[in-house]
């Protein structure tokens, strides 16, 4: 649904909104709509260690303009703060203050990315644990301070260094329009698995795209976020098998015909759903996206078994059953990657959604617990937790409620289905296999939850 307020404050009411101190969201730079002038702006890399210079060299090798020191009057597209060697909170001061001094040089939709060791109280000294945890607080707080569509996110190194392949892919994602609605979040790289993708390969499409030659099953693909996921995976080179209920067959066929995919009509809660999916693919499954989900909202005092059980069956039980069957039958390809749809409701809870929040929190738990088994096959499993996304469902909300929900994020607007799809495409790529068992929020840093 169109956000009329966003259009007005970027048009005839811009000065009025500024004068009255009203929210001033801006149109975000997304994949395919990022101005060339923006892409030509330099990236400032801050940090004194060898890792910072190595990262600067990586950016240069991939055709980006790089600065190691801010230059007076020069506009920047991004600031990268490399803090991987921080051993105590007192060591953070020089670099974070450099970030602060350079913030006004960022153009609209600019990026800040911090790179640091993952917090680990069990293996780090008290000083180092304080520093690594402090960096997460710094990054999240900075994300709340960003203006004009800017975002701040972090890459956490868990037992790996900056040369891990997924560090590069995480960086390409966070610097690009593919992460337009991701802010205040962290991507944890925990292994050297995956393929090192160049920036050109990461941003390519079709036969040269990062998913070229791979099959991708998307459940709930007939409309909304599921259709956007299917379109994006096809854009990035995957052959998509779209799955949805028979009653959505016409809409599903329309989407699959548009992208050259294959339609499969079935109920994912059926006992033989995994077998039918594997049969439709005709080969071991490379990518599986669990998008299908339902809501049956009621206050718990008024909840009946039908509402509770149906949401659990579709949103989480079907995922566990399908994953287990494909794994036990050897129907996952080597390097297979699974991405599941969670929700910010599963992180923070939501009034009237105890069943839905239970199911989506369950997705997060399933994802974390399944990571090791997927890594043994050279693959990964992750989840994406959307916040307020402009869909047919949110369009039915009362107008005032919808407006409030849109402004309750650092980006002061709702996300688009494509924002969720971009995160899923990234996590399904070979360059992201070193990210495993994680849940990435796509919520514009919504004020609800961490």
Are the C-beta atoms of residues 208 and 392 closer than 8 Å to each other?
no
**Catalytic pick from 5, 38, 181, 356?**
356
Torsion of CA 113, 116, 119, 123, to 10 degrees: 170
With helix as H, strand as E and coil as C, how does the chain read?
CCCHHHHHHCCCCHHHHHHHCCCCCCCCCCCCCCCHHHHCCCEEEECCCHHHHHHHHHHHHCCCCEECCCCCCCCEEEEEEECCCCCCHHHCHHHHHHHHHHHHHEEEEEEEEEEEECCCCCCCCHHHHHHHHHHHHHHHHHHHHCCCCCEEEEEEECCCCCCCHHHHHHHHHHHCHHHCCCCCCEEEECCCCCCCCCHHHHHCCHHHCCCCCCEEEEECCCCHHHHHHHHHHHHCCCEEEEEECHHHHHHHHHHHHHHCCEEEECCCCCCCHHHHHHHHHCCCEEEEEECCCCCCCCCHHHCCHHHHHHHHHHHHHHHHHHHHHHHHCCCEEEEEEEEEECCCHHHHCCCCCHHHHHHHHHHHHHHHHHHHHHHHCCCEEEEEEECCECCHHHHCCCHHHHHHHHHCECCCCCECHHHHHHHHHHHCCHHHCCCCCCEEEECCCECCCC
Separation CA 368–CA 242 (nearest Å): 25
User: Quick one: tokens of 83?
Assistant: 């803090």
Are the C-beta atoms of residues 347 and 385 closer than 8 Å to each other?
yes
Q: Which residues of 69-96 are buried (b: 16+ CB within 10 A; e: fewer)?
A: ebeeeeebbbbbbbbbebeebeebeebb
What value, to the nearest 5°, has the Cα angle with vertex 261 and ends 433 and 324?
45
Question: Is 356 marked active-site?
Answer: yes
The residues that are catalytic are 356
């Amino acid at each position: 649904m169109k956000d009329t307020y966003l259009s007005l404050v970027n048009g005839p009411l811009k000065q009025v909104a500024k004068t009255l101190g009203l929210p001033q969201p801006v149109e975000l730079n997304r994949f395919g709509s990022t101005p060339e002038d923006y892409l030509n702006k330099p990236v400032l890399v801050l940090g004194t260690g060898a890792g910072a210079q190595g990262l600067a060299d990586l950016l240069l090798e991939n055709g980006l303009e790089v600065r190691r020191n801010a230059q007076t009057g020069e506009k920047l597209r991004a600031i990268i703060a490399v803090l991987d060697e921080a051993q105590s909170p007192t060591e953070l001061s020089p670099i974070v203050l450099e970030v602060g001094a350079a913030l006004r040089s960022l153009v609209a939709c600019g990026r800040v990315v911090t790179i640091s060791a993952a917090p680990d109280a069990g293996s780090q000294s008290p000083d180092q644990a304080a520093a690594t945890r402090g960096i997460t607080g710094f990054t999240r707080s900075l994300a709340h301070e960003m203006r004009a569509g800017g975002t701040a996110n972090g890459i956490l190194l868990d037992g790996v260094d900056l040369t891990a392949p997924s560090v590069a892919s995480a960086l390409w994602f966070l610097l690009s329009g593919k992460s337009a609605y991701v802010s205040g979040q962290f991507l944890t790289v925990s292994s050297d698995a995956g393929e090192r993708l160049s920036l050109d390969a990461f941003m390519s499409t079709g036969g040269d795209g990062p998913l070229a030659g791979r099959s991708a099953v998307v459940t709930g693909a007939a409309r909304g976020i599921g259709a956007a996921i299917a379109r994006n995976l096809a854009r990035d080179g995957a052959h998509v098998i779209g799955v949805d209920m028979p009653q959505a067959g016409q809409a599903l066929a329309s989407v699959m015909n548009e992208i050259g995919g294959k339609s499969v009509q079935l109920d994912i809660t059926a006992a033989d759903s995994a077998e039918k999916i594997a049969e439709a693919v005709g080969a071991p499954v490379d990518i599986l996206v669990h998008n299908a989900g339902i809501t049956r909202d009621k206050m718990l005092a008024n909840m009946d078994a039908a509402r509770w059980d149906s949401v659990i069956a579709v949103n989480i039980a079907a995922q566990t059953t399908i994953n287990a069957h494909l794994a036990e039958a050897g129907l996952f390809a080597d390097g297979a990657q699974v991405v599941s749809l969670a929700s910010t409701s599963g992180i923070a809870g939501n009034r009237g959604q105890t069943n839905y929040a239970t199911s989506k929190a369950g997705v997060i738990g399933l994802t974390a617990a399944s990571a090791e088994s997927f890594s043994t096959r050279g693959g990964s499993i992750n989840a994406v937790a959307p916040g307020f996304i402009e869909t047919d469902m949110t369009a039915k909300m009362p107008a005032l409620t919808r407006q409030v929900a849109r402004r309750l994020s650092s980006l002061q607007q709702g996300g688009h289905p494509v924002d969720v799809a971009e995160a899923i495409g990234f996590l399904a790529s070979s360059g992201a296999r070193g990210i495993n068992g994680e849940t990435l929020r796509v919520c514009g840093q919504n004020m609800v939850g961490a």
